Amino acid sequence: MAEILLAVERLKKFFTQKRGFPNPETVTVRALDEISFTVNRGEAFGLVGESGCGKSTAGRCVLRLIEPDSGGVTYAGEDVLEAGKERLRLLRRKMQIVFQDPYASLNPRRMIGKALAEPMQVHGLGDSAEIDARVEALLAEVGLPPDARWRFPHEFSGGQRQRIGIARALTVSPELVVADEPVSALDVSIQSQILLLLRGLQDKHGLSYIFISHDLGVVRWFCQSIAVMYLGRIVETGPVPAIFDDPLHPYTRMLRESSPVPDPEVRVAPARIAGEVPSAVNPPAGCHFHTRCPHVMDKCRQAYPEWRMVGQGRGVACHLHGA
Amino acid sequence: MSRGAAIAAPRRGFVHALRELRRAFNTNITSWIGLGVFLAIVLFAVLAPVIAPFDPYEQHIIDRLKGPDATYWFGTDAFGRDILSRLLHGARYSLVIGSVATVSAMIIGSAIGIVSGYVGGRVDLAVMQVMDVLMSFPSLIMGLMIVAVLGPSMGNLIFAIALTAIAPFARIARAPTIVIKQRDFIEACRALGFSDLRIMVVHILPNVMAEILVLGTLWLATSIRVEASLSFIGLGLKPPIPSWGGMVREGFEVILDSAWLSIFPSLAILLIIFALNMLGDGLRDAVDPKLRGGE
């Protein structure tokens, strides 16, 4: 039985902002509406959904880069949200993040070698000779030449910068890495290199990932289990082969069918997901998906479906699979 | 990696940055002129005791109010003191007061601006309100008030000029801080457990330094001008100290008969302010496109 590394319990984050002039009204964006999931040790856990469904917010709340409103995050038995300053510092060494935009994620005025040495100095991981050796080892590990340490970010391509971002996350030897769309800003040919690198690190160091993505093809290859999010809520979770072979939620099915198949023989006109994503400011009553769902029933418009476990670690929130 | 490479490498980055700055600077001839004139004035000020033909306080009563000639290049004043010597020595006072005031304002102002922008929220709002109030006083009026209350001394003069310059530095440092703090690399710093102080000093400051330095050059000109103005109205350095503003004022009384008394110090003030403004404008042009398109 796999060990649970991270457990997220009813995590909630609403953003409020004032809109309008001269009489501003307060609007609430329901970025995360009580989502729960678990990540096993050594597993790549995918968090998928359309833009604005709250998947990046979820990743940042887990790391407490954004403070969630309520809920719980437990890392290896330790409460992350309750951790004080010192505990949080130690937890920061266990959990790291890789960003989407490699052009914004590196300090343009900082040499790569310094940027990689800094976290180890701050956390007191070895003397300067050890840190020096480790910087070199990290560069080699992510596939960059040793002289990269004397160069500045603008001297590198997007893919190389992403490698630097990964190396920076690895400086503190984390166990869990939140990868926030790590390849979606890159060319397809570079994407596979970065994914292979991440997969290699997973095998070598037993890393776990929270892999945030909107690309089902990538998630299918990279992740062992996934959660599908829609407007701030998780609509379906489960192990990867099962979810892709037999999606239970209509939204998951539509996502799967709208992702391209790399084989011209089996190409069919993709079943489109009708309509726009409703706003997270004012989600539809009942099931949030009912405005676009082909199987919509009367009760979908009235009540949000309850979460149901349907065997082998699979769960779904849909009236089609209700009692 | 060999030891040699470890030592050589940081220089490479620095030289590279300098070369880049020079390239941008090169497109602008006026900034080179500004830099040249300013450096020449600094050189004259430093060498004043050596190159000045006379002691700036020495009175030649027989030669009082003499026009420019071969002995006294710029003429003499009502006490028979050599104007050129007094100008050269006066440059030292102007430069010291101007630069000490500007550098202190630069340090304090940027610290306030970066902290305020980084912390944000109500603190930011309150701090910026205070800065707006400070900024609403013209620097001359502000300096006048402070010197009038505290008395005219070199220290008070520097304090007064620095106080008026804090607000603009706080503003110029705050604006880019707000932009930079939202970028992913700052979030990465937080995820790595860096302290706020480290983030501000190591990761934000170098990214706003260029703007601060440009404003510093322009404010050095303003500081020198304010010092001269205060000396002119008698609230600056006390005679017999040869301050440029004071010299203009002394010559003012006899301007119809002996115009050289105020013309030469006026020209000196004009020259240094022109030079610094040209230099500052050039620096701003050199720095700006790099910030916009550099990354």
- Among B24, B235, B206, which Cα is nearest to B146's? B235
B240 is a domain residue? yes
Report the percentage of chain A scoring pLDDT > 90. 44
The CA-atom distances, in angstroms, between A90 and each of A17, A83, A118, A195 are 33, 10, 16, 28
User: Is B216 within a domain?
Assistant: yes
Q: Does B192 touch chain A (CB under 8 A)?
A: yes
Give the pair of three-digit tokens for residue B117: 């922008």
- C-alpha A146/C-alpha A190 separation (Å) is 20
In order along chain B (295 residues), what is the average pLDDT of each group of 10 residues? 41 61 70 90 89 83 80 81 89 92 95 94 93 87 86 87 92 93 92 92 89 90 91 84 87 84 91 91 71 38
Q: What pTM was estimated for this model as a whole?
A: 0.83
Q: Does a structural domain hold residue B12?
A: no
Rounded Cα–Cα distance for residues B255 and A281 (Å): 74
Nearest by CB to residue A101, choosing from B184, B191, B203, is: B184
- All residues of chain A having their beta carbon less than 8 Å from the beta carbon of residue B1 are 132, 136, 146, 149
Please, which residues bridge with residue A96 across strands?
A177
Interface test with A, best of B1, B18, B180, B200 (most A CBs within 10 A): B1
Residue B4 falls inside a structural domain = no
Q: Give the number of domains in chain B.
A: 1
Distance from C-alpha of B273 to C-alpha of A273, rounded to nearest angstrom: 66
**Contact criterion met (CB below 8 Å) for B105 and B165:** yes
Averaged over A280-300, what is the pLDDT? 84
Asked if B6 and A132 come within 8 Å (Cβ–Cβ), the reply is: yes
CA distance A9 to B174: 38
pLDDT at A18: 79
Are B192 and A122 spatial neighbours (Cβ–Cβ below 8 Å)?
A: yes
Radius of gyration for the alpha carbons in chain B, expressed in angstroms and rounded = 23
Q: What is the ipTM of this complex?
A: 0.85
- Check CB contact of B184 with chain A, cutoff 8 Å: yes
Domain that holds residue B115: 28-293
How far is the alpha carbon of B220 from chain A, nearest alpha carbon, in Å?
A: 26
Is residue B85 a contact partner of residue B53, using CB atoms and an 8 Å limit?
Answer: yes
* pLDDT of the residue at B153: 84
- Specify which residues A315 forms β-bridges with: A237, A309
- Concatenating the DSSP letter of every residue in B203-219 gives IIHHHHHHHHHHHHHHH
Q: Which residues of A touch B184 (CB under 8 A)?
A: 99-101, 104-105
- Averaged confidence pLDDT in chain A: 88
Q: CA-CA distance, A238 to A243, in Å (whole number)?
A: 6
Q: Distance from A135 to chain B by nearest Cα, in Å?
A: 11
Binned at pLDDT 50, 70 and 90, residue A175 comes out as very high
User: Which residue type, as a one-letter code, is found at position A91?
Assistant: L
The verdict on B20 touching A (C-beta cutoff 8 Å) is no
Spatial strand order of the sheet with A315-316 comes to A95-98, A176-180, A208-213, A44-48, A225-230, A233-239, A315-316, A308-309
Identify the DSSP state of A218: H
- Reference B244, options B121, B83, B116; nearest CA is B83
Residue A139, pLDDT > 80, answer yes
Is residue B9 one of the residues assigned to a domain?
A: no
pLDDT at A239: 92
SS3 A309: strand
Q: Residue B294's pLDDT is what?
A: 37
Cβ–Cβ gap A118/B202 under 8 Å: yes
**Chain-chain contact of B295 with A154 (C-beta, under 8 angstroms):** yes
Q: What angle do CA B80, B85, B91 make, to 5 degrees?
A: 130
- Residue A210 in this model has a pLDDT that exceeds 90: yes
- Residue B240: asked if its preceding bond is cis (omega within 30°), the reply is yes
Task: Identify the helix (H) or strand (E) that includes residue B13.
Answer: helix B3-26
CB contact under 8 A, A93 and B193: yes
Spell out which residues of chain B touch residue A92, defining contact as CB-CB under 8 Å. 191-193
A27 DSSP β-pair partners: A17
Q: How many other C-beta atoms can be found within 10 angstroms of the C-beta atom of residue A190?
A: 17
Residue B254 falls inside a structural domain: yes
Helix (H) or strand (E) holding B72: none
Task: Flag whether B1 is in a domain.
Answer: no
Q: Which of A96, A132, A149 sits opposite B191 (nearest CB)?
A: A96
Contacts of B248 (CB under 8 A, 6+ apart): B228, B232, B262, B265, B266, B269
CB contact under 8 A, A97 and B191: yes
Q: Percent of chain A at pLDDT above 70?
A: 95
For the sheet containing A4-19, what is the strand order?
A25-40, A4-19, A70-75, A78-79
pLDDT value at residue A191: 92
The enclosing domain of B289 has a CATH number of 1.10.3720.10
Tokens of A100: 């989407």
B290 interfacial to chain A (CB closer than 8 Å): no
Shortest distance, CA A137 to any CA of chain B (angstroms): 11
Q: Rounded to whole angstroms, what are the CA distances from A127 to A91, A115, A120, A277, B48?
A: 22, 16, 9, 52, 51
Q: pLDDT tens for residues A225-236? A: 999 999 889 999
CA distances from B210 to A9, A184, B235, B259 (A): 46, 33, 34, 42
> How is B165-213 classified by DSSP, letter by letter?
HHHHHHHHHHHHHHHHTTSHHHHHHHHTT--HHHIIIIIIHHHHHHHHH
Q: For residues B20 and B290, is the Cβ–Cβ distance under 8 A?
A: yes
Nearest Cα of chain A lies from the Cα of B137 at a distance, in angstroms, of: 31
With an 8 Å Cβ cutoff, are B193 and A92 in contact?
A: yes
For B111, the enclosing helix (H) or strand (E) is helix B83-119
Least confident of A99-108, A266-275, B195-204: A266-275
How far is residue A165's CA from residue A205's CA, in Å, rounded to a whole number?
A: 17
Mean pLDDT, range A238-245, rounded to an integer = 89
| Residues in B touching A150 (Cβ below 8 Å) | 5, 9, 12-13
Which of B221, B220, B219, B250 is closest to B233 using CA atoms? B250
Cross-chain residue pair B188–A105, CB shorter than 8 Å: yes
Would residue B7 count as lying in a domain? Answer: no
pLDDT digits (tens, 9 = 90+) for A188-209: 889 999 999 999 999 999 999 9
CA distances from A146 to A106, A129, A150, A151, A171 (A): 18, 16, 9, 10, 16
